[in-house]
Structure 1
Amino acid sequence: MTAPLTPTERLGPLPVIYRDARLIAVAKPPGMLVHRTALARGETRFVMQTLRDQIGQHVYPVHRLDRPTGGVLLFALDSDAAAALSRAFTEQQMTKRYLAVVRGWGPETVSVDAPLREEDGTRPKAEMPAQAALTHFRRLATVELPVAVDRYPHSRYSLMEARPKTGRRHQIRRHLAHCGHPIINDAKHGKGVHNRYFRDHLDCPHLLLAAVFLQFRHPFEGRTLTLEAAPDNHFSALLTRFGWQAHLTQNGARWEDGASAAEAAEPIDIPL
């Protein structure tokens, strides 16, 4: 009798953007939890466990992406690398760039410096101390659809670039909502009619937020490494549909000197 397929065999391996002897980066699919948590009821596939099984060794998380957010996710391959990378994130030495599709025409540029209370779901937010949170936003493109999604005869949307300087939970989502431009398919901060329109008519079933860029000084190579991840197929198709394809990225890595990181790194076989 044939053994049932594992989740990794059924859904395929995680796309590896970069790997060397000390760290590895993948393109996380939207909707996938990074690791097992109390929220993982019924889930059978997690990034950490999938990647561990995929490459045959333990991986160490050094930052996080929310469950509905896809994009660049970095792991260390040993404890020393984990400590170095975690310290770089804590000390804000990482340059992060996200793409988000929002309701309305967002501001051309704006920096939101608005402290946020932790949302851990265990205590009332009023009991949680507010923590400093800063995000820089830039509007990349706009579109106006001749569709009365809400009360207006036309509906406007923007493609926004987000560069968070801090890493608070749901920071980009909360800061964009604070500006009056919630991300499409944000069930908590957005508006249902717009979310349903994108799901039902534009084939966008998940939050339209993607971590497309991560740049940092490699703690052992001494050079700056840039990692990029393409938005998932639904997100990418929407960008093309709206004429925003110039802002699409591809999975890849490169050094600051322009060399391909895949070629410059120590070659290692990656079992799939």
Structure 2
Amino acid sequence: MSESELSSAPSAAAPPLTILYQDQYLVAVDKPSGMLVHRSFLDKHETRFVLQSLRDQLGCHVYPVHRLDRPTSGVLVFALSPEIARLLSQQIAAGQWRKGYLAIVRGVVKAAGTLDYPLKEQLDAIADKQARSDKAAQSAITRYLPLQQVELPFVVSRYPTSRYSLVALQPLTGRKHQLRRHLAHLRHPIVGDTSHGDGKHNAFFRQQFDSDRLLLCAVMLQLPHPVSGVTLQLQASLAELGELCRQFGWPDDIAYYQQVFQQFLE
């Protein structure tokens, strides 16, 4: 194929988003890691976003009611009308949503617990340049439950082996980067976290397991349907965490984790 033919050839179409639930009022998708929820001037070079992709996929407007950080994968809900968006936002404000995450973290998390550790608001130098920087730390609460551990025969830092844990997480508040900052505070940073994590272990996972993403996945979301009131239990895939679970000898069946979160979520 000539250079001119290459330049005019259409690029491969991006795969459609995986729909986890859809009715006439709302839709939930399994957001891939690395994908922004919506267009942002903070990353002007990005060309694909969940909101625009889903709108094109469904052929109708969709309305975001919450978000996931760009490197986090998992359940993401959109309303199909402004009225439903308002109702869902009211549910979130009232604490009616129950969110369950899985994360692979550095070290052995020995016991379940609840971390009540206030966080200072993280401000962006561009987007938040008009915001006050002297605000008091905001309440931030996270529940955590260790599920699995693995010890690998590799020297990553000062120890002869390296150890990691799979933990279930439930944020009871919704602060920016709350789970990532709380796990770092516990000295069990999430693998792949380039902002709050451990660079040596991040590099080890890239080299040894070809894993260059944040190992945090929003696998479960429980909420009352905004019209019927029936409890919806939305469940995402394990995504790239699934392959690591298989390599570490951990359960890789999402049904196993569904049972875990049914007992764990308050």
Q: Which letter does structure 2 place at the counterpart of 1:173?
A: R
Distance of aligned partners of 1:102 and 1:60 in 2 relative to their CA distance in 1, 3 Å threshold: same
Name the residue aligned to 1:198.
205
**What TM-score, normalized by structure 1, do the two folds share?**
0.86
Name the residue aligned to 2:123.
120
**What TM-score, normalized by structure 2, do the two folds share?**
0.88
Distance of aligned partners of 1:103 and 1:94 in 2 relative to their CA distance in 1, 3 Å threshold: same
Aligned partner of residue 81 in structure 1, secondary structure: helix
Partners of 2:75 and 2:235 within 8 A in 1 = yes
Q: Which letter does structure 1 place at the counterpart of 2:160?
A: P
Partners of 2:106 and 2:163 within 8 A in 1 = yes
Instruction: Note the C-alpha offset of 1:126.
Output: 5.0
Cα distance in 2 for residues equivalent to 1:3 and 1:221: 48
Name the residue aligned to 2:143.
136
Q: Which letter does structure 1 place at the counterpart of 2:78?
A: F
Q: Which letter does structure 1 place at the counterpart of 2:53?
A: T
Cα distance in 1 for residues equivalent to 2:191 and 2:37: 22
Kindly report the root-mean-square deviation, in angstroms, between the aligned alpha carbons of the 2 structures: 2.1
Aligned partner of residue 143 in structure 2, secondary structure: strand
Aligned partner of residue 131 in structure 1, secondary structure: coil
Cα distance in 2 for residues equivalent to 1:241 and 1:221: 42
Identity %: 49
Partners of 1:119 and 1:125 within 8 A in 2 = no
Aligned partner of residue 117 in structure 1, secondary structure: coil
Query: Which aligned pairs between 1:2-17 and structure 2 lie closer than 5 A?
Result: 4-5=10-11, 10-17=13-20
The match for 1:220 among 221, 227, 231 is: 227
Partners of 1:117 and 1:125 within 8 A in 2 = no
- Deviation per CA, 1:7-63, whole angstroms, max 9, x where unpaired? xx6221000001000000000000000001122221000000000000000000010
**Residues 1:61 and 2:84 aligned together:** no
Cα distance in 2 for residues equivalent to 1:223 and 1:71: 22
Instruction: Note the C-alpha offset of 1:3.
Output: 7.3
Name the residue aligned to 2:29.
26
Aligned partner of residue 212 in structure 1, secondary structure: strand
Distance of aligned partners of 1:189 and 1:249 in 2 relative to their CA distance in 1, 3 Å threshold: farther
Cα distance in 1 for residues equivalent to 2:255 and 2:217: 11
Cα distance in 2 for residues equivalent to 1:29 and 1:16: 12
Partners of 2:35 and 2:71 within 8 A in 1 = yes
- Deviation per CA, 1:147-203, whole angstroms, max 9, x where unpaired? 111111111100011000111110000000010100001112111111001011112
Instruction: Note the C-alpha offset of 1:247.
Output: 5.7
Aligned partner of residue 25 in structure 1, secondary structure: strand
Partners of 1:239 and 1:248 within 8 A in 2 = no
Instruction: Note the C-alpha offset of 1:131.
Output: 1.3
Query: Which aligned pairs between 1:185-264 and structure 2 lie closer than 5 A?
Result: 185-232=192-239, 234-246=240-252, 248=254
Aligned partner of residue 229 in structure 2, secondary structure: coil
Instruction: Note the C-alpha offset of 1:125.
Output: 8.5
**Residues 1:84 and 2:102 aligned together:** no
Name the residue aligned to 1:46.
49
Q: Which letter does structure 1 place at the counterpart of 2:59?
A: G
Partners of 1:141 and 1:160 within 8 A in 2 = yes
Cα distance in 1 for residues equivalent to 2:18 and 2:83: 24
